[in-house]
A and B are shown apart, each in its own frame.
Chain A
């Protein structure tokens, strides 16, 4: 049953193959014309930034265009933080800035003066893993491993965000304490895509760490 809405299907235009081509070429030309007359920056296009990464003070002079992700991966050689899409669509670049998880691909390095950044390398090493890393290995919370550092960054943050009372899309009553449920974890982890499909195992890993944390009350 369709709604009693008064509407008209919008007319579309036809595009012949050659016209499409001419258009594409024309657009390219237009972009070129624009680029020839592009203005220069209004000031210096590099900046020296001081920030702390995994507890170590760093000073880097960056092209202003450099993202936090690329500073980590290219300048500081901290390649544990991954570039999956570079557009905030996958979560592989998730790291922690001043205690809050963000997509480092959608953040300019110049905007992190004085910030404390934590990457996967700051959490644990193969010889001394963080409990979340241990749980990911135990429950096989990954396959190819490329999204994994971002998943682990988010996993740790998700437990803290729930404990801090930050509501999510699936939170029931907005005005009472939020429980750590499967549904809450899944929703809050949804900004981290795993194409290998390890989601169920990641949930198991997070759940174990969350329960341990509750028991020990020291996380």
Chain B
């Protein structure tokens, strides 16, 4: 199915299933521990052996020798496969920056350099500790992002420019010029990367935990120099990814290498203390934002310049992206710098770019509002734009940011907020209120599905889409149910297998919108297949109550055919979609308490208002948003993958050292979805919300801390050590 023009009135506008609160169809499996995750699939292959990784302990250099004799002689050990003996392997994809395995060169701390294969986990782990490695160590060079920033901050070659920023800023009556920093973040998903691999007649099967099945299949094929059809990837349940499982990681490569060597299935899970350095992280940034405005608050000049560290060939954290389109302003300057550094691979983490960029921009917007003496809601409303500020001929397909702000202000009681630092106090706690705008693109990707109608009337959806906690199982069941006139419970959804039709996968918050459109296409094809089977014109059929209605009779789907009817199609998005800006918008409001003595900051309530087109399932969509809000609280108050700049690694590399929010950190959360539709997005008029929920949250918290204390902190996380010496005496 081609999606070449905006969706008109269609069956989703009169939906019975899509858009209705529906609990997860995979819920009973997850809450009973019966949903199978990658490492625990005892049933898929006989005689699984255990592989335990050995990782490099230098940031940069090369292996000069590896001694595996002791390890190989350990009880239960079948083999030790080392990177030097395997030699360099083709890079899995151009999206993997760091080498995953193979060869002598070390590009990052905790790069995988060997895998020990043994009969049991205990044996493999003990033997892994006996592998002896010598290195030739390279100078890692400077890991000082501040110094790198000072070197390049005046270089504006190739900047994205509109109008004359410098002149407009110079002449603006009211200006700010502030610099912000964000630290590196770790995905810290609960399920460590894990894979089981097995070879059969030169064909490879990998049961793994991966967000993008098609990419994973292609990456494994490339790495092992196979045809894609000789690689099967299966990933039906994924214990969180947040971007780190967009790409194949070393667990899959190690398992496949080991399985090929020993001729038996091998499973590898990356031990938690190895995950943070071995996999990827969101890179730290330094961001300078300048805003100039008229006295009444119209932005006339806006510049966002930033630097992020990146591995050689990496793309860093693109903190400036949202500023190109979020707010109006005739004169604009946008520039992103990368500082190549010998740190572990930086790569996509939930809302890559916007998450870090809005942490800075949305403080800057508040600082500017204060400079203008304006309410921060009013200042943002005044600078809303309905067209791309870089290309005023290009409209937003659907943009209700102002409504997000105003609905939110109303629901939150913004008018009754604390208005002066320290003016609202609850015992030892200074109370503050803050808000931030949220912006994230609404991309869509081609996505396919196959639908089977069994003789018993069961509808089965098969697609290589994944569910990383997002609710894909449920919304795809709802979509098929809507089109075929059954209930969501009547639909079985099978995901994550590369033998199913290629799908959009889960990333960039494109998954829900794209994959439901793909299932819609397949369901429309199924309607046609049923019409063909009945020898009718599909226009004369209607699908409801698990039946097909023709002009004169009602035929139950059960028993409609003696054999299975199968239909397959995919959705492809035409160029028209990029003739407008398809994005999602939101506003976050928070109330914090800051301990007047200690500076401890605790959230008291949170509200998000989201504009993301049709909400396919208010239950799972809300969960996506509150989950993003939790991650935003982490970014605001605690998450800091601190860098050891002498050695080039993240020392606090486990879940004790890298703190993420716990239950006690999270207060009451409210989510309001605007009742909007975006016909330019998909036939369902839907967009994603999974990343929108995170965007801006940290800045709202930082703004609330300022509101509570009068102390402005421009460095994240906003931990007490950054401002305790500036706190007013209690």
Contact = CB atoms under 8 A, between A and B. Distances in A.
A/B contact in complex, CB under 8 angstroms: yes
A65 B283 CA distance: 38
30 contacts: A2-B725, A14-B646, A20-B140, A20-B646, A20-B647, A25-B137, A63-B122, A66-B120, A77-B42, A79-B36, A83-B269, A84-B191, A84-B192, A87-B273, A89-B655, A90-B272, A119-B33, A123-B32, A126-B32, A143-B471, A144-B468, A145-B239, A148-B30, A149-B31, A187-B663, A193-B655, A193-B662, A195-B189, A199-B626, A199-B630
B138 to A, nearest CB: 7
B332 interface: no
Contacts of B189: 144, 146, 195
A142 B42 contact: no
Interface of B: 23-24, 26-37, 39-40, 42, 57-58, 60-61, 67, 70, 120-123, 126, 129-130, 132-141, 187-192, 237-242, 269, 271-273, 468-471, 619-620, 622-624, 626-631, 646-647, 654-656, 660-664, 666, 668-669, 725, 729
Contacts of B187: 195
B70 A92 contact: no
A219 interface: no
A197 B134 contact: no
A61 B309 CA distance: 50
Contacts of B630: 194, 197, 199
Contact of B30 (A145, A185, A193): A145
B58 A21 contact: yes
Interface in A118-163: 119-121, 123-127, 129, 133, 136-138, 140, 142-149, 152
Which 4 pairs of residues, A with B, have the shortest CB-CB distance? A80-B33, A21-B137, A197-B630, A146-B239
B663 A140 contact: no
A23 B258 CA distance: 30
B122 A66 contact: yes
Given A89-B272, A120-B32, A28 B133 contact: yes
B28 A126 contact: yes
A125 B237 CA distance: 18
Nearest to B657: A89
A81 interface: yes
Given A63-B122, A84-B192, A195-B242, A137 B31 contact: yes
A89 B656 contact: yes
Contacts of A59: none
A74 interface: yes
Contact of A196 (B37, B61, B627, B729): B627
A117 interface: no
Contacts of A133: 28, 31-32
Contacts of A201: 623, 626
A205 to B, nearest CB: 10
Contacts of A176: none
B30 A142 contact: yes
A82 interface: yes
Nearest to A77: B42
B271 to A, nearest CB: 7
A127 B132 CA distance: 51
Nearest to A147: B190
A192 interface: yes
B388 to A, nearest CB: 32
Interface in A52-91: 63, 65-66, 70, 73-74, 77-87, 89-90
Given A84-B192, A186-B666, A145 B469 contact: yes
- Chain A contact-residue range equals 35 or more
Contacts of A197: 626-631, 661, 666
The residue among B26, B40, B663 with the most chain A CB atoms within 10 A of its own CB is: B663
A92 B40 CA distance: 14
Given A120-B32, A146-B240, 11 more contacts: A24-B647, A31-B129, A82-B37, A87-B655, A121-B34, A126-B32, A144-B190, A146-B239, A190-B664, A196-B240, A198-B626
Contacts of A125: 32, 34
A4 to B, nearest CB: 14
B654 A89 contact: yes
A76 B619 CA distance: 35
A35 B269 contact: no
Given A15-B647, A190-B663, A82 B619 contact: no
Interface in A86-105: 86-87, 89-90, 92
Contacts of A147: 190, 239
Interface of A: 1-2, 14-18, 20-22, 24-25, 27-29, 31-32, 35-36, 63, 65-66, 70, 73-74, 77-87, 89-90, 92, 119-121, 123-127, 129, 133, 136-138, 140, 142-149, 152, 170, 185-187, 189-203
Contacts of B140: 17, 20
B32 A186 contact: no
Contacts of A22: 137
A54 to B, nearest CB: 11
Contact of A144 (B29, B32, B129, B469): B469
A14 B34 CA distance: 52
A185 B729 CA distance: 33
A20 B192 CA distance: 29
Nearest to B26: A145
A101 to B, nearest CB: 14
A84 to B, nearest CB: 5
A47 to B, nearest CB: 13
A27 B57 CA distance: 10
B122 A65 contact: yes
A24 B58 contact: yes
A140 B191 contact: no
Nearest to B48: A74
A62 B361 CA distance: 56
Nearest to B76: A63
Contacts of A148: 30-31, 33
B42 A144 contact: no
Contacts of B619: 140
Given A85-B272, A144-B189, A146-B191, A200 B668 contact: yes
Nearest to A86: B272
A152 B27 CA distance: 13
Contacts of A189: 662-664
B40 A79 contact: yes
Given A120-B33, A194-B190, A35 B129 contact: yes
Contact of A143 (B133, B273, B623): B623
A6 to B, nearest CB: 17
A138 B31 CA distance: 11
A79 B656 contact: no
Contacts of B646: 14-15, 20
- Name the residue among B130, B137, B629 with the largest chain A CB count within 10 angstroms: B137
B33 A121 contact: yes
Contacts of A20: 58, 137, 140, 646-647
Given A144-B240, A200-B668, A195 B26 contact: no
Most chain-A Cβ atoms within 10 A of its Cβ — which of B60, B140, B626? Answer: B626
B138 A21 contact: yes
Given A17-B141, A140-B23, A144-B239, A36 B620 contact: no
A118 B136 CA distance: 51
B655 A28 contact: no
Nearest to B29: A126
